[in-house]
C-alpha cells in the first residue's frame, strides 16, 4: 500500500510496542506503593531517583547520570487550627509546604477564589487578619501572593472539592513562605463560612511547627545522541516528586512513566539513527518550586539556543480526556504538528497558553520553546490532585499509552526534521510576555512582593535562572 508517511514502519513498531507494554504500569506501581510520595528530602525520593536512573540505563540511554544539588528541604510539622470565637473548636488542617513555624491569631476574611476583585472588595478588613480562599479558578500562588500584598497575617486554602480532605500545594516557591499557610478540606471551609454567616466574625488561631533542613536532590538525565546535529538538543522531561501527603500517582507519575516509555521505545527502534539529540530528564522538586528544573536549565544559561525545544510531560498520562498538544504561545509550531498528525493518521488537538507553574518555566525564561502533552476534555481543576487521594487506583493505563505513543512519534519527527523553524525567543520578547501575558500573572505579583519586601530579605532555596 502506498503511504505518505515516511515513518510508517517505525510508527507501527512504536505503537505496537507501547500498546502491549506493561513497563510504565509496573514502574508507576513500584514508585508509588514502594517509595511513597517521593517528596524532596525523603528516603522515597532517593529510592525513586535510583530506580529511574536504573531504568534509563536498562533502556540503553547514553550518559545516564544523576545531577545532584543541595537545597533547604521542608519537613512537615503538626499544624493546628482553633476557633477562638464565637465558639471554641479545634479543626483539622495541614500546613502547606514551605510554611514557616508560626503562631498567629486573627479574624477570617473570605475571598472565595482569591481573584483581584474579590480581594479588592474586602481590602479594608485584611491587614493583620487571615485570608480564607478556596482552590480552583486561578492558581494557589496568586491567591497567596495577593494575601501578602494586602498585609494578611495568614492564609487558609480550602479544597473546593467535597470528599477529598485537605488540599496541599507549596506557598514557598523558592523563598521561605512569607506568611504561614494551611490547607483544609471543603467541609471544614464550608463550616467556617456558615459560622461567619450565622454568628458574625470568626476569630482563629493557627499554629505551625514545620522545619527546614539542608538536604540533597537529584535530577536524572539520559540521552540518545544525534547523528547529524548532535549539538541540537530536544529535552523530554517530567518531575518525579509528589506531594508528601500523596502518592502523586497521576501528578506527576502518569507523565513520568510516559517519559520513560518514550525513552524505551525511541532507544529500541531509533537509537543511532536520530538526527538530533534527545535528552530525557526526571526533574526533582517541582512541587515545591521547580528547583530541579531551575537547576537543570541553569546549565544552558549561556547557550540556550542549543536546546531547540523542551517538552514538559507533567501528568501527561492523566485520565479523563484525549491527548493533544499544549504549546506555550507558539503559533508558528502548529503547521509542524498538523503535518505530523496527517502522517500519523491522527487528529491532534492543539492548545495555546502558558503558565509559570511547572517545569517548562525555567527553560521558557531562557527563550527556549516549550510545550506539553495536554489532556483535552478533562474538567478544569485538579480534582483529587494535590490531595491524599491521587493514588495508583486512579491511574489509567490506556491514557498513559496514548500519551507515550503520541509523544514518541511526535518527538521522533522533531528529532529528524530537516529543519526546525522555531527560533528561541529573545530576552525582550520574554520580558514583554512576563509583563503582558494573562497566564503569567504570578510573575507580576511576585515582582510586587519583591518590591514591597526587598528580595534580599527573603531566604532563597535554589538558584533561579533570571
Binding residues for Zn ion (CB under 5 A): 251-252, 314
CB of residue 248 vs Zn ion: minimum separation in angstroms? Answer: 8
CB of residue 173 vs Zn ion: minimum separation in angstroms? Answer: 14
Cβ closer to Zn ion: 223 or 314?
Answer: 314
CB of residue 125 vs Zn ion: minimum separation in angstroms? Answer: 34
Query: Torsions phi, psi of 429, nearest 5?
Result: -65, -40
Cβ closer to Zn ion: 172 or 252?
Answer: 252
Cβ closer to Zn ion: 255 or 367?
Answer: 255
How are strands ordered across the β-sheet holding 276-283? 62-75, 211-224, 276-283, 229-239, 307-312, 370-376, 322-327, 350-352
CB of residue 239 vs Zn ion: minimum separation in angstroms? Answer: 6
Cβ closer to Zn ion: 107 or 251?
Answer: 251
What pairs with residue 182 in β-bridges? Answer: 95, 156
Cβ closer to Zn ion: 252 or 369?
Answer: 252
Cβ closer to Zn ion: 165 or 372?
Answer: 372
Separation CA 408–CA 264 (nearest Å): 9
Separation CA 144–CA 142 (nearest Å): 5
CB of residue 61 vs Zn ion: minimum separation in angstroms? Answer: 23
Residue 215 C-alpha cell reads as 538536604
154-158 and 181-184 strand pairing: parallel
Cβ closer to Zn ion: 270 or 281?
Answer: 281
Cβ closer to Zn ion: 72 or 314?
Answer: 314
CB of residue 105 vs Zn ion: minimum separation in angstroms? Answer: 34
CB of residue 359 vs Zn ion: minimum separation in angstroms? Answer: 8
What is the residue whose three cell numbers read 502518569?
Answer: 254
Cβ closer to Zn ion: 31 or 265?
Answer: 31
Mention every residue, 6+ apart, whose C-beta is less than 8 A from residue 242. Answer: 37, 38, 39, 248, 249, 251, 252, 253, 287, 390
CB of residue 56 vs Zn ion: minimum separation in angstroms? Answer: 20
Residue 443 C-alpha cell reads as 510573575
Cβ closer to Zn ion: 110 or 311?
Answer: 311
CB of residue 240 vs Zn ion: minimum separation in angstroms? Answer: 10
CB of residue 315 vs Zn ion: minimum separation in angstroms? Answer: 5
Closest CA to 398 of 320, 456, 313: 320
Cβ closer to Zn ion: 222 or 252?
Answer: 252
CB of residue 252 vs Zn ion: minimum separation in angstroms? Answer: 4
Separation CA 178–CA 101 (nearest Å): 11
CB of residue 286 vs Zn ion: minimum separation in angstroms? Answer: 5
Query: Torsions phi, psi of 296, nearest 5?
Result: -70, -45
Cβ closer to Zn ion: 237 or 367?
Answer: 237
Amino acid at each position: 500500500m502506498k503511504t505518505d508517511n515516511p515513518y510508517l514502519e517505525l510508527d507501527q513498531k512504536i505503537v505496537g510496542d507501547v500498546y502491549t507494554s506493561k513497563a510504565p504500569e509496573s514502574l508507576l506501581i513500584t514508585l508509588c506503593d514502594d517509595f511513597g510520595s517521593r517528596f524532596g528530602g525523603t528516603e522515597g525520593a532517593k529510592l525513586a531517583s535510583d530506580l529511574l536512573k536504573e531504568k534509563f540505563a536498562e533502556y540503553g540511554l547514553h550518559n545516564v547520570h544523576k545531577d545532584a544539588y543541595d537545597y533547604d528541604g521542608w519537613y512537615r510539622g503538626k499544624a493546628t487550627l482553633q476557633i477562638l470565637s464565637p465558639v471554641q473548636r479545634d479543626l483539622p488542617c495541614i500546613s502547606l509546604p514551605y510554611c514557616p513555624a508560626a503562631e498567629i491569631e486573627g479574624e477570617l476574611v473570605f475571598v472565595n477564589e482569591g481573584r483581584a476583585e474579590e480581594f479588592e472588595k474586602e481590602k479594608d478588613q485584611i491587614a493583620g487578619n487571615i485570608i480564607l480562599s478556596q482552590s480552583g479558578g486561578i492558581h494557589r500562588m496568586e491567591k497567596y501572593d495577593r494575601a501578602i500584598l494586602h498585609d494578611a497575617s495568614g492564609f487558609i486554602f480550602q479544597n473546593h472539592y467535597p470528599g477529598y480532605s485537605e488540599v496541599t500545594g507549596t506557598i514557598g516557591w523558592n523563598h521561605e513562605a512569607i506568611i504561614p499557610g494551611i490547607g483544609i478540606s471543603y467541609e471544614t471551609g464550608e463550616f467556617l463560612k456558615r459560622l461567619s454567616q450565622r454568628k458574625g466574625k470568626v476569630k482563629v488561631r493557627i499554629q505551625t511547627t514545620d522545619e527546614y533542613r539542608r538536604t540533597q536532590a537529584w535530577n536524572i538525565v539520559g540521552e540518545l545522541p544525534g547523528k547529524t546535529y548532535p549539538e541540537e538538543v530536544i529535552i523530554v522531561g517530567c518531575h518525579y516528586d509528589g506531594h508528601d501527603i500523596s502518592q502523586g500517582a497521576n501528578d506527576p507519575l502518569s507523565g513520568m512513566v510516559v517519559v520513560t516509555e518514550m525513552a524505551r521505545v525511541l532507544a529500541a527502534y531509533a537509537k543511532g539513527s536520530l538526527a538530533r539529540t534527545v535528552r530525557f530528564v526526571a526533574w526533582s522538586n517541582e512541587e515545591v518550586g521547580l528547583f530541579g528544573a531551575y537547576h537543570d536549565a541553569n546549565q544552558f544559561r549561556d547557550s540556550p539556543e542549543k536546546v531547540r525545544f523542551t517538552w514538559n510531560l507533567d501528568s501527561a498520562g492523566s485520565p479523563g480526556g484525549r491527548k493533544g498538544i499544549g504549546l506555550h504561545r507558539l503559533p508558528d509550531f502548529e503547521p509542524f504538528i498538523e503535518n505530523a498528525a496527517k502522517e500519523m493518521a491522527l487528529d491532534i488537538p492543539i492548545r495555546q497558553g502558558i503558565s509559570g507553574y511547572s517545569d517548562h518555566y525555567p527553560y521558557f525564561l531562557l527563550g527556549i520553546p516549550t510545550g506539553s502533552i495536554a489532556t483535552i476534555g478533562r474538567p478544569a481543576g485538579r480534582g483529587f490532585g494535590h490531595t491524599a487521594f491521587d493514588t495508583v487506583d486512579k491511574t489509567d493505563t490506556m491514557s498513559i499509552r496514548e500519551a507515550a505513543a503520541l509523544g514518541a512519534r511526535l518527538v521522533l519527527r522533531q528529532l529528524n526534521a530537516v529543519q526546525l523553524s522555531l527560533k528561541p525567543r529573545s530576552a525582550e520578547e520574554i520580558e514583554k510576555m512576563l509583563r503582558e501575558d494573562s497566564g503569567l500573572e504570578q510573575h507580576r505579583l511576585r515582582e510586587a512582593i519583591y518590591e514591597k519586601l526587598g528580595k534580599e530579605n527573603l531566604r532563597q532555596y535554589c538558584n533561579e535562572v533570571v
